[in-house]
Amino acid sequence: MIKLLIVDDSALMRRQLMTLFQAEGDFDIRQARNGAEAVRENLEFQPQVVTLDINMPEMDGLTALSLIMAERPVAVVMVSSLTEQGALATFEALNLGAVDYIAKPGGTISLSISKITEDLVEKVRGAARARVKSKGSTPSTAVRRIQEERKKATAAYSLAAQSRVAAEGLLVMGASTGGPRALEIVLSGLPADFPWPVLVAQHMPAAFTKAFAERLDPLCALHVKEVARPLPVEAGTIYIGRGGADMLLTNRGGKLLILPAPEDPRFHWHPSVELLGRSVLQHYDPKRVTAVLLTGMGYDGSDAFTEIKKRGGRTIAESEDSAVVYGMPAELVSKGGASLVLAAEQVAAQVASWAGR
């Protein structure tokens, strides 16, 4: 049995969630009406997973999360609204130690729950297997200041120089559960003179990726952009796939472009890492590709990244000790597709070394 604590100030929402998880047959469930009750129940009930609403009276979800992670760290799945404010609060929660989140669509509660039932159950089951991490692993203020100075230097590159170095290599990354924190660690570690473009597919809803890119931009020495329209692929830039879509690399008139595309129904997760990897294989020399598969449930990207390695490219799988959920990188390793297995904290230095930086 999975011990689950449901935290929400809405009695109707708690009842809907109780019904949903009771129907699964393998959950031992308790409820809390606000953050203060959640903190107490975390100590008394000792759940394996907590679903935690953000906006609650008496004590909000972020305050409760900080106390929970300080007193008894547990796998927490945040329940967030599909708004910019909800996205920003979610990233703060992930920084505080939450392992995943689910975005509530608008409308009546019963309709909202029906739309997210499959994802919610999958995320809670995945959270029960997750490695719970304490707060940390983010750049300090001093490092951010240095990175801002490096970014200014990067911006001074001429367009001709960008086009020249873009042809030298390409870094492709995929992540899911636990990915935002892992990507923050890796991407903030890349130097300002990193000579390759960086393409990132992180499983995330449409309302969240713009806020995610904006959050990463001041932390990274490279510029960070959400791919909401076709963009030229240039060095000194990190491209974040737009949520609610897939992201594809293409070649138009000899010029590389990265563009959003409607979600491909053949693939379960979006933005699809597998589809991005296949487009890279189609339009770029695999021998000049480095592919990194980070934490996440499932197997997205493992086939394409294995093929990249077979065709002469280099690949990295995040290590089990580092990953929040050792699913996607484990699949890459099991298929013989990993050139190296590294902790998230080691990836940036290795990639920079391969790039000659």
DSSP result, 143-207: HHHHHHHHHHHHHTS-HHHHHHHHTT-EEEEEE-TTHHHHHHHHHHTS-TT--S-EEEEE---HH
- Burial classification of residue 306, based on how many CB atoms lie within 10 Å of its CB (0-12 exposed, 13-18 middle, 19 or more buried): buried
pLDDT at 355: 95
Instruction: List pLDDT tens digits, range 13-69.
Output: 899 999 999 999 999 999 999 999 999 999 999 999 999 999 898 899 999 999 999
> What percent of the chain stands above pLDDT 90?
76
Give backbone dihedrals phi and psi of 315, rounded to 5 degrees, phi first.
-135, 150
Q: Judging by DSSP bridges, how do beta strands 75-81 and 49-53 pair with one another?
A: parallel
pLDDT at 206: 87
What's the Rg (C-alpha) of the chain? 20
pLDDT at 109: 56
pLDDT at 62: 94
pLDDT at 167: 46
pLDDT of residue 95 exceeding 70: yes
Q: What is the mean pLDDT of residues 200-225?
A: 95
pLDDT at 145: 47
Three-state DSSP class for residue 245: coil
Instruction: List pLDDT tens digits, range 264-315.
Output: 999 999 999 999 999 999 999 999 999 999 999 999 999 999 999 999 999 9
pLDDT of residue 135 exceeding 60: no
pLDDT at 82: 65
pLDDT of residue 209 exceeding 50: yes
- Burial classification of residue 238, based on how many CB atoms lie within 10 Å of its CB (0-12 exposed, 13-18 middle, 19 or more buried): buried
pLDDT at 108: 52
Class of the CATH domain delimited by 2-128: alpha beta
Closest to 228 measured CA to CA, from 252, 207, 253, 197: 207
pLDDT at 134: 58
pLDDT at 110: 53
Instruction: List pLDDT tens digits, range 230-255.
Output: 999 999 999 999 999 999 999 998 89
Q: Judging by DSSP bridges, how do beta strands 49-53 and 2-7 pair with one another?
A: parallel
- CATH topology match: 2-128 vs 142-354: yes
Buried b (16+ CB within 10 A) or exposed e, 183-215: bbbbbbbbbbbbbbbbbbbbbbbbbbbbbbbbb
Alpha-carbon torsion, ordered 52, 50, 297, 212, to 10 deg: 30
pLDDT at 164: 43
Q: What is the mean pLDDT of residues 178-188?
A: 96
Alpha-carbon torsion, ordered 215, 221, 226, 231, to 10 deg: 170
pLDDT at 139: 42
Mean pLDDT of the chain: 89
pTM of the shown model: 0.85
The domain 142-354 having CATH identifier 3.40.50.180: the answer here is yes
Just list the catalytic residues: 176, 203, 300
Q: Which amino acid is at 142?
A: A
Instruction: List pLDDT tens digits, range 136-181.
Output: 444 444 345 444 544 444 444 434 444 444 448 999 999 999 999 9
- Give me the residue spans of the domains in the chain: 2-128, 142-354
CA dist 232 to 102, 114, 262, Å? 32, 39, 19
Under 8 Å CB-to-CB from 296, ≥6 apart: which residues?
A: 174, 175, 176, 177, 178, 179, 203, 323, 325, 327, 328, 329
Which of 54-58, 83-87, 208-212, 269-273 has the weakest average pLDDT?
Answer: 83-87
